[in-house]
Amino acid sequence: MTTETGPARYLDVFAEPRFRALFAARTVWMAAGTLQILTVSVVVYRDTRSPLLGALAFGAGFLPQAAGGILLGAAADRVSPRRLILAGYLLEATVAAALALLHPPVAASLALIAAVGCLAPLGNGATGRLVADTLTGDAYVLGRAAISMSSSGAQLVGLAAGGAAVAALGPTPALLVACAGHLLAALLFVLFAGDAPTPPRTGPVLRESWTGTRALLADRTARRLLLVQWLPPAFSTGSESLLIPYASAHGWPAGTAGLLLAAIPLGMLVGDLLVGRLLGPAGRERAAPLLIALLGAPLTLLAAHPAAPIAVALLAAAGFGLSYLLGLQRPFLDALPPQARGHGFTLLSTGMMTLQGLGPLLMGLAAEQLGPGPVIALAGAAILVVALSLRLNHLRPVRK
């Protein structure tokens, strides 16, 4: 458990060589993964002309994470983080090469992506555990913020450059570039990142994973912190999935949808940087309910049909609100038993990815009946309910 309470700086975080290596490897991995997903979606849509299958290819790696996280979560504490993370990078490189060189049928391509998705939570859990073992106190919070910012930035670059790469090179070279990116991430990690101590095995992984998941969800404090980190991003992602039909319903030019989609991750980048830099540890935790409200309130205003520039500004403000996650990092870490940190981070990643996969599906079905604007506004209202719940819990702390 962390005990330090003083503020840290990003310079302190990047002064740690192991964190620098992990940060660089994960950034390259995220950019390569974004390019790979985009390319596969393009190929599937080109071969089938089915918007549904194209969207399924884009999200095929999300929902299977639920199975991997629940059934294998204990492995994040029983297997060396170095081995888990390196294995994940090499597995994704292998899949990218297979998709590029073997040109499997659509069903086989989706099966490969789903299989990798099952194991993704283990890599995320091992990464969280390695960061927690490398950085302490407020440096840990800023380290998690830096990784979050690198993920958002890498996704933005991957999406922007990915479309150009697929258009200029074609799908096969683009997938080979993605494969090279995964291999580069593996090389950076294996050469410069360290490891964390791993306790001895205590029993079958499946049984321990199921027992550990039930124990974490039965703990009132851990469960509340998990839900607060799962639900607002799920509603936010569901709202993002409706921005293209939202722009179309307003008759805005085609490029406007791209600006709307870029606004939330851009706002999140700015929010993580400023909140992490300007607020101290206690200030971030106190600000968390207000930042969640900032995430939800602008989404509710989109139902009023604002002009395009105002809609972009509202979405950027909502993205800024996602920096609320910084205020929950240390409370969540402190709620985890030291011997189950990897499992806790795996469960956190599992829930976030699964719900972010379900959110667009459920909100898309609702938008078929109500229209995109009202559904986005309802998502914003749901986020405000989460903010109110967290505020009430702050006033009446949960005692373990």
pLDDT digits (tens, 9 = 90+) for 165-184: 777 788 889 899 999 999 99
Report whether CATH 1.20.1250.20 matches the domain 204-394. Answer: yes
Structure confidence at residue 232 (pLDDT): 93
Comparing 23-27, 76-80, 227-231, 363-367, which segment has the lowest mean pLDDT? 76-80
Q: Supply the pTM of this predicted model.
A: 0.77
Q: What is the pLDDT of residue 196?
A: 59
pLDDT band at 393 (very low <50, low <70, confident <90, very high): low
Residues in the chain: 400
Judge if 11-143+151-193 and 204-394 fold alike in CATH terms. Answer: yes
Lowest mean pLDDT among 20-34, 158-172, 255-269: 158-172
Q: Tokens 């205590």 sit at which residue?
A: 202
Tell me how far apart the alpha carbons of residues 78 and 230 are, in angstroms, rounded to a whole number: 25
Name the amino acid, one letter, at 134: T
Average pLDDT of 287-310? Answer: 92
| Ranges 4-8, 91-95, 123-127, 380-384: which has the least confidence | 4-8
Give the residue extent of every domain in the chain.
11-143+151-193, 204-394
Q: What is the dihedral of CA 329, 335, 338, 339, to 10 degrees?
A: -110
pLDDT confidence of residue 398: 40
Q: Does the domain spanning 11-143+151-193 belong to CATH 1.10.10.10?
A: no
